[in-house]
Amino acid sequence: MTSPTRLEDSFGRTVQDLRISVTDRCNFRCLYCLPETEAAANFYRGRFHGTESSDASKPITHTWKPKSQFLEFEEIERVVRLAAGFGVNKIRITGGEPLLRPRLEELIARITSIPGMHDVAITTNGTGFLKKGKLLRDAGLHRVSFSLDSLDRENFKRVTGRDGLQEVLESIQWAKELGLSPVKVNAVIIRELNDHEIEPLAEFARDHELSMRFIEFMPLDSQRTWKKHLVIPGTEMLERLQKRHTLTPLPAKHPSETSKRWRFQEGNGEVGIIAPVTEPFCGNCNRIRLTADGQIRTCLFSLVENDLKPMLRNGNADAEIEDYLRKVVWKKEERHHIGEDDFVQPSRPMSSIGG
């Protein structure tokens, strides 16, 4: 019997996109990810209406993984090479904050030199990019996405726990100058926190020719503070944007695209909406994740992890690892269950899964 040449799951989906977390550490404390600041406590206090599923009395007791458990660059490169053999051609490096991983440019060079890697990107909060951006671009990085949830210095501080707005703005500009276009910008929108900034953020994207992505808040934060009423549904975001601008829908580049996109009548920027909570896109999901400590996760909301590290460290042959990947992907979950009675939040927060 010949082995399948693709990573297929039991629901007919084919994995082509691998997201790799290179560290679980982060220098930010975003209110929707690691809400561990006083500002976060103040924001969530008083916003619990008491009846929804998230259980704030049970914060995730996440601990930082020992760095000795992080996969080495050679190990990550090997996984990517084997995945490329199955047709995986899209890699996103993430974290935690990926720029905190020393010598990240070496990993980018290793990955971009693997044949078939058409799209190698990083997602970053932007700190450190002014120093690292050119090294990353020269190593072959294709694209970069920045997180930017506010254009107001005080609100940025409240959302991220850091006084870092200026550095992110400069980093975005630097990425454009380095030719890492189109530069993407992600904003997680939370009711009464930054929803009043949807319009200014969209206009910022239009004026600076950026691809803005507004993302619904998902139950993946470390303190289990997520509540449905804090989610601004994608339809509400779109209605608000359409009140201000004439937006023309853009065709999906690929069926697995997570965002719906529009361009402005004026300018070259675009806006997109990623609505995993109210308009799930699981049916076309082609992604799996590799955590910094070597676990394969077949869904953001997986409750089961698949430890690849022992195979990488115990001398298993490529064929054995390929076989393992095939078996793991076959069991990929059909969909997430956010908002349903049986929903269980994973034990890792987003910072440790890799967004």
User: Which residues are near ligand SAM by CB under 6 A?
Assistant: 26, 32-33, 94-95, 97, 123-125, 147, 186, 188, 215, 217-218, 220-221, 350-351, 355
State the pairing for strand pair 259-264/270-274. Answer: antiparallel
Q: How far is the CB of 118 from ligand SF4 (least distance, A)?
A: 25
How far from each other are the two terminal CA atoms of the chain, in whole angstroms? 37
Residue 214 contacts which entry, ligand SAM, ligand SF4, none (Cβ below 5-8 A, type-dependent): none
Quick one: 188 or 329, whose CB is closer to ligand SAM?
Answer: 188
**DSSP H stretches of helix in the chain:** 38-44, 73-85, 104-112, 129-138, 153-160, 165-177, 198-208, 234-244, 309-313, 318-330, 350-353
94 binds, among ligand SF4, ligand SAM, none (CB under 5 to 8 A by kind): ligand SAM
CB of 104: closest distance to ligand SF4 in angstroms? 15
Could you give the CA distance from residue 191 to residue 205 in angstroms, rounded to a whole number?
21
Select 105 or 221, whichever has its Cβ closest to ligand SAM: 221
Nearer to ligand SAM, 160 or 325 (CB): 160
Contact between residue 327 and residue 10 where contact means Cβ atoms under 8 Å apart? no
How far apart are the C-alpha atoms of 252 and 59, rounded to whole Å? 37
The residue of the chain with the least Cβ separation from ligand SAM equals 355
Q: Which does 34 bind (CB under 5 to 8 A by kind): ligand SAM, ligand SF4, none?
A: ligand SF4
Residue 54 touches which of ligand SF4, ligand SAM, none (CB < 5 to 8 A by kind)?
none
Residue 331 has a CB neighbour count (10 Å cut-off) of: 12
231 binds, among ligand SAM, ligand SF4, none (CB under 5 to 8 A by kind): none
Q: Which CB sits closer to ligand SAM, 26 or 296?
A: 26
Q: How does strand 295-297 pair with strand 287-290?
A: antiparallel
Cα diameter, the chain: 62
Which lies closer to ligand SF4 via its Cβ, residue 187 or residue 273? 187
Shortest separation between residue 329's beta carbon and ligand SAM, angstroms:
22
Judged by the rule CB under 6 A, the positions of this chain that interact with ligand SF4 are 26, 28-30, 33-34, 95-97, 125, 147, 350-351
The distance from CA 293 to its chain's CA centroid, rounded to whole angstroms, is 17
Please choose which of ligand SF4, ligand SAM, none residue 215 contacts, taking the beta carbon within 5 to 8 angstroms, the exact cut-off set by kind: ligand SAM
Instruction: Provide φ and ψ at 72, rounded to 5°.
Output: -75, 160
Among ligand SAM, ligand SF4, none, the one that 43 touches (CB under a kind-dependent 5 to 8 A) is none
Please return the burial class of 103, using the count of CB atoms within 10 Å of its CB with bins 0-12, 13-18 and 19+: exposed
Nearer Cβ to ligand SAM (160/298): 160
Cβ nearer to ligand SAM, comparing 11 with 343: 343
Provide the token pair at 173.
């500009």
